[in-house]
Structure 1
């Protein structure tokens, strides 16, 4: 059975569909801000740590993967309560939190200040904004309004802000033209994946149906590894379904052997593989061989071939497509795409 009748909007009580359509606008709004309130001393760094949790950490992984060939300093991701021992006054610590109140991120900021790191805040307000004012830290405080109601739906704000501050610090080479092309790529996905487009013409709906009831493996390489992580997170939180991500070529050195046991496990898996002509030729061969092997083992394989001309376009394309696919999966699972009751329960228990 197919058609829009299966994608019942009664489960979308917070109009997350509107947030998804707004992701390109989120990026554009951030880049309208061309001001620079970052001290010149912040350019005297040797490394960058992006601190964040959950949906707020995804912007860092996006930049780390998509921007790998454009970063002039090493960029590390930290998702914990404390920072590595090597963090010091030559480290740029960028704390990212949609709410501005994330427990672990606040602790990492405290640790960063103690280690004399150069701390910069990207947040939607909250305690991080107050800390920035108290310690006179440079901060990029964005106002989401109705464009984003959860961290994973505000990735346009956080990715756009992180790209902008790194550009202002002259550690990321990215142009306004590249950002414009990202926004255009996202809008092209919206044209084909928006709710009004029937399933037969809507790749995000079609992929959501293929994922329904299965364990989902997201597989990507090079500039799309961070995007594979993002889509995995969205399927977990938005679709309420198990998903994990694997990267090529790393998975070829261990994962393939894992399908031997338990018996019949492969039939419960679906692999969504992100393929790109921009990959290294050897990785393109690895992706194709991996898909061939998985199919022989009984794993359902869905190949998504990107069409962008640059890594920035392709990253933005997968970012937008994955958000739609996870959203439609939530509707097929008959759950609210916004609610995360178990994560909220866990946070209450930790308070």
Structure 2
């Protein structure tokens, strides 16, 4: 059955995440030497969808004491302060993402320093014609499955900047590789068990701000891989508004992504929220992974939640690769490709 075959293929791709991070990292490191970094006040990472989450993850992987600001941009234009002192990384797996191509043109017109990450398409063609550097990634994947490689590329490109340590990155991926071995059995593991409990209800994902990239990634993977409605809430902001809207509690499953690096106030508030929902007879689940660093925690949680979404696709008998609705809209967007 095609769904079962694609489940196996998706699972194996996720298990290859450590290898993909490393391959991308090596490609990013192979760029020619960058110009004087002191001129750059900020790094912008442009992208949409699977390519867009790359900027969020790379920002989360940056060393905490770094003064470099990494700003993801998911728009048809770049912020008004982008200019000659801006370092811009344009990420479009296909190279044909309409919004990203327009944002790239906007950045280039403002004389920003621009590099690209893509597997081909209009973006690669345009950048090469302008003499700009493009790191090409493996072809033949859907963007969301190429995320580890693209993250590795962007991290590799940014290693000359403060806060992007090659040795620490590779140590983080080594830790992920050891963790991933626990998921080689596709029939029974913690991710499969959680997926089977999420089948019947929309999912609300809650977690601390420093894990916002994981919350967003999990939500998007549930949408695309599992064809499942999902939403996420970032704490502490959600405790000042969204919390009051949890009024149809029994209609949702609540997944808390917990961290070993939470502020004590955040930990207490999240504990309270979990208990509040349980008292209201909600389906509440907690995810936590042991890790040696914030960066290792982040990639391990991304890995775990990716596995959950593919296991949920299998439980629902849906194809974790095929998309039905997004491709219906895509031709309309592509009409506006520059």
TM-score (norm 2): 0.92
> Is the Cα contact below 8 Å between 1:51 and 1:108 reproduced in 2?
yes
Question: Which segments of 5 or more consecutive residues in structure 1 lack a partner in the other structure?
Answer: 1-6
Separation in structure 1 between the aligned mates of residue 249 and residue 245 of structure 2, nearest angstrom: 10
Structure 1 residue 14: Cα displacement: 8.2
Tell me which residue corresponds to 1:3: none
Separation in structure 2 between the aligned mates of residue 74 and residue 335 of structure 1, nearest angstrom: 39
Residue 125 (structure 1) aligned with residue 117 (structure 2):
no
Which of 103, 106, 110 is equivalent to 2:98? 103
Distance change (3 Å), C-alpha of 1:167 and 1:70? farther
Tell me which residue corresponds to 2:158: 166
Residue 44 (structure 1) aligned with residue 39 (structure 2):
yes
Distance change (3 Å), C-alpha of 1:332 and 1:14? closer
Residue 10 (structure 1) aligned with residue 9 (structure 2):
no
> Is the Cα contact below 8 Å between 2:7 and 2:310 reproduced in 1?
no
Structure 1 residue 29: Cα displacement: 1.3
> Is the Cα contact below 8 Å between 2:7 and 2:314 reproduced in 1?
no
> Is the Cα contact below 8 Å between 2:206 and 2:235 reproduced in 1?
yes
CA-atom RMSD in angstroms: 2.1
Tell me which residue corresponds to 1:32: 26
Residue 155 (structure 1) aligned with residue 147 (structure 2):
yes
Separation in structure 1 between the aligned mates of residue 111 and residue 163 of structure 2, nearest angstrom: 23
Counterpart secondary structure, 1:143: coil
Residue 93 (structure 1) aligned with residue 88 (structure 2):
yes
Tell me which residue corresponds to 2:201: 214
Separation in structure 2 between the aligned mates of residue 80 and residue 37 of structure 1, nearest angstrom: 28
Structure 1 residue 312: Cα displacement: 1.2
Residue 183 (structure 1) aligned with residue 166 (structure 2):
no
Structure 1 residue 236: Cα displacement: 0.5
Which of 194, 198, 205 is equivalent to 2:187? 198
Q: How many residues align?
A: 333
Residue 84 (structure 1) aligned with residue 79 (structure 2):
yes
* Structure 1 range deviating more: 157-166 or 59-68: 59-68
Distance change (3 Å), C-alpha of 1:253 and 1:68? farther
Separation in structure 1 between the aligned mates of residue 310 and residue 220 of structure 2, nearest angstrom: 12
Separation in structure 1 between the aligned mates of residue 288 and residue 173 of structure 2, nearest angstrom: 19
Separation in structure 1 between the aligned mates of residue 329 and residue 45 of structure 2, nearest angstrom: 24
Counterpart secondary structure, 1:246: strand
Question: Which segments of 5 or more consecutive residues in structure 2 lack a partner in the other structure?
Answer: none
Separation in structure 1 between the aligned mates of residue 73 and residue 319 of structure 2, nearest angstrom: 30
Separation in structure 2 between the aligned mates of residue 301 and residue 47 of structure 1, nearest angstrom: 39
Separation in structure 1 between the aligned mates of residue 108 and residue 126 of structure 2, nearest angstrom: 11
Structure 1 residue 45: Cα displacement: 0.8
Distance change (3 Å), C-alpha of 1:245 and 1:140? same
> Is the Cα contact below 8 Å between 2:84 and 2:113 reproduced in 1?
yes
